[in-house]
Amino acid sequence: MKVLKLDASGSNWVIYKDQFVWAIDARGLLDHVDGSIRELMKPTPTEKRATVGSGSKGAERVDSEGDFEVVEELTADDEKKSDGWKEKYRAWRLREAIVKQQIAATIPNSLFMKIRDKGTAHQIWLALTKDFQNKSRMVSMDLRRLQQQRCIEKGDVQAHFATL
């Protein structure tokens, strides 16, 4: 994905944000950025069978003191659910990693150090957005003030430029 690199000052935030969102959307990964998809929760077994005896597969363990510990075995239906969850979770993690890598590749190292401990791509994006949206608003307010400045008729142009 071709996205320009975000400047550490945030001077190109507006363009970066749109290019990044469009590139991620083109890959079908926007739900990881906007938070509409969340990490999948591991399914909990609906019915547990406690098994003891040598005939069941790994149903008992011997602890360090030689006592037997009862281990609960999943039903076939629960195992199927667990396998389905593992497959979906792997796919989610892969898509999440792609988005996180794309963010990391398009921001300077100084910004990466600030956001690297965030858990999900959505949390990373929120942190970047929070930081740079505020900066963008401040810049636009400063520009608006600058645009309203006028040099009075027959005024000192050098003093006016110094003020600007």
Angle at 54 between CA 52 and CA 59, to 5 degrees: 45
Mapped onto helix, strand or coil, the DSSP state of residue 151 is coil
Interval 34-88: pLDDT, tens? 988 888 777 776 655 544 444 444 445 555 566 655 556 667 777 777 778 888 8
Interval 13-40: pLDDT, tens? 889 999 999 999 999 999 999 988 888 7
Calpha distance 124→6 (Å, rounded): 14
What residue type is assigned to position 158 of the chain? Q
Domain boundaries, the chain: 13-40+76-149
On whether the pTM is more than 0.75, the answer is no
Phi, psi of 101 (to 5 degrees): -65, -40
Structure tokens at 100: 């996180």
